[in-house]
Amino acid sequence: MPDFLYVHIPFCIKKCLYCDFLSVTYNESLAKAYTDALCKELILKKDIAGQLKTVYIGGGTPSILPEECFGQLFKCLKNNFKFSDLPEMTVEANPGTVDKSKIGAMFSIGVNRLSIGVQSFNDDELRTLGRIHTSKEAEDAVRIIKNSGIDNFSVDLIYGIPGQTLDSWRDTLSKAMEFSPNHISSYELTLEKGTPLYEMIKSEETNPPSPASVASRCDFAKGGMGGFLANIKMPDEELILEMYGYAIDHLRGKGYEHYEISNFARHGFRCIHNLNYWDGGEYVGAGAGAHSFIRGFRLKNTDDIRRYIKDLNKGITPEAESTEIKRDDAIKEFIFLNLRKTEGISLAKAEEFGLNLPGVCRELIEDGHLEMEGDYLRLTRKGIPISNTIIISLFERLGLD
């Protein structure tokens, strides 16, 4: 039985330009109706879950929910689910949506971990991303959380932002260090099709702007409208690699363990919830667009928030897509998920799948893309940046279609 629960809150004040997660503009009445529906879904699913080790409330912007909705949600969780000792209870919080009272309320109902979507401490970069907050507001948010006495929080950052330099990335990292967070997520900006940022970059690539239009756009940006900066093109890959490399070296130097491609933590502060994904474990998801993995099936709730609420008001489980993970797919998942962890793939576990990994990846090891240590096979520093290519090469070598 899955001991891990994900809850999706699909609301934001405004959607960021790069975001392709399920999220709509926040309004209070919809949020309340949604919380009611969410609680109904949780009750319907209560017997699927075991003793919960983690609850992860992600979004969207979960911290946008009014305190009373949090109260209702946590009451519902406590009344209907069993918990293991000291469960990890994470909420994603965005600067601009938290204050002292809300943070205090969250802790009082049992939240013990916060993941703060800072993304950058540089105002230009925040504008390019279309974030609702300034770097000052981000600092304030982290300070409030830090001062509230909680030690388990993560500062989430993004690198590879158009216009970002190695220096500005260093500044963002050292600013984050000032708050001495026990966890840092550092994600490369991914251009997702269909996002406004994607469209802006692509149109820039196809029609480079005339100097005049750049000038007028600069004026526009100075006027405070987010997003429309002149130099809207992705940093070149060498720079992105340098930023990534810098983060690894710098954070390691500060005593963080690089435990997953994009995640760093001080000893004892790894995110248990996310580790479960990379370990290939089961989990229950609740909320619109939420994913579950139960008894070999990956399920995804409907993305349609109104449909979701309607179904639950009728007392039925919301519509979901379901994919059975057959043997080949299970092996693929096992490989690509475990290789995200810097610890790598357990060869003993691979053998349980009938895989002879050392046999097929000799060349990749000789080239320095993979390395073996003890029972584990993992990506090297050289291999991590081209992990997709190496994973595909492994699939081929294992005869996986």
Partner 1 sequence: MSKNIRNFSIIAHIDHGKSTIADRLLEYTGALSAREMQAQVLDSMDLERERGITIKAHSVRLLYKADDRKEYILNLIDTPGHVDFSYEVSRSIASCEGALLVVDASQGVEAQTLANAYLAVEHDLEMIPVINKIDLPAAEPEKTKEQIEDAIGLDCSEAILASAKEGIGTKEILEAIVEKIPPPTGEDDKPLKALLFDSWFDNYQGVIVLVRVFDGTVRAGKKIKMMATGNIFEVAQVGIFSPKMQPSEKLSSGEVGYVIAGIKSVTDTRIGDTITDVDIPAQEPCPGYKDIKPMVFCGLYPTIPHEYDNLRDALNKLRLNDSSFNYEPETSFALGFGFRCGFLGLLHMEIIKERLEREFDLSLLSTAPTVVYRVTKTGGEVIHIENPALLPDKYEIIEEPFVLVTIFVPKDFIGPILDLCQEKRGVQKNFIFIGKDKIKVEYELPLNEILWDFYDRLKSISKGYASMDYEFLGFRESDLVKLNILINGEIVDALSLIVHKEKSYYKGRELTEKLRGIIPRQMYEVVIQATIGSKIIARESVRAMRKDVLAKCYGGDITRKRKLLEKQKEGKKRMKQIGRIELPQEAFLAVLKVK
Shortest CB 220 distance to partner 1, Å = 29
387 binds partner 1 (CB under 8 A): yes
**Residue of 323, 351, 356, 362 that binds partner 1 (CB under 8 A):** 323
Torsion of Cα atoms, 257 then 271 then 126 then 228, to 10°: 110
303 binds partner 1 (CB under 8 A): no
Report whether 153 contacts 189 (CB < 8 A).
Answer: no
388 binds partner 1 (CB under 8 A): yes
Per-residue binder mask for partner 1 (CB under 8 A), 23-62, x = binder: -----------------------------------x----
CA distance 165 to 184: 20
Where do we find the tokens 């929080």?
153
* Of 161 and 230, CB closest to partner 1: 161
175 binds partner 1 (CB under 8 A): no
Report whether 186 contacts 159 (CB < 8 A).
Answer: yes
114 binds partner 1 (CB under 8 A): no
293 binds partner 1 (CB under 8 A): yes
Per-residue binder mask for partner 1 (CB under 8 A), 252-271, x = binder: ---------xx---------
Range 367-386, binding partner 1 (CB under 8 A): 367, 369, 384-386
Shortest CB 158 distance to partner 1, Å = 10
**Residue of 132, 227, 393, 397 that binds partner 1 (CB under 8 A):** 393
Per-residue binder mask for partner 1 (CB under 8 A), 188-227, x = binder: x-x-------------------------------------
User: CB under 8 A: which stretch of 32-40, 81-89, 232-240, 305-313 binds partner 1?
Assistant: 232-240
Where do we find the tokens 């081209």?
386
| Half-sphere exposure for 205 (CA within 13 Å, toward CB) | 10
Kindly state the number of chain residues that form the binding site for partner 1, as judged by CB under 8 A. Answer: 46
Range 74-103, binding partner 1 (CB under 8 A): none
The contact set with partner 1 (CB under 8 A) reads 6, 8, 21, 58, 187-188, 190, 237-238, 240-241, 244, 261-262, 277-278, 283, 285, 290-293, 298, 300, 323, 329, 332-333, 336-337, 340, 363, 367, 369, 384-393, 395-396
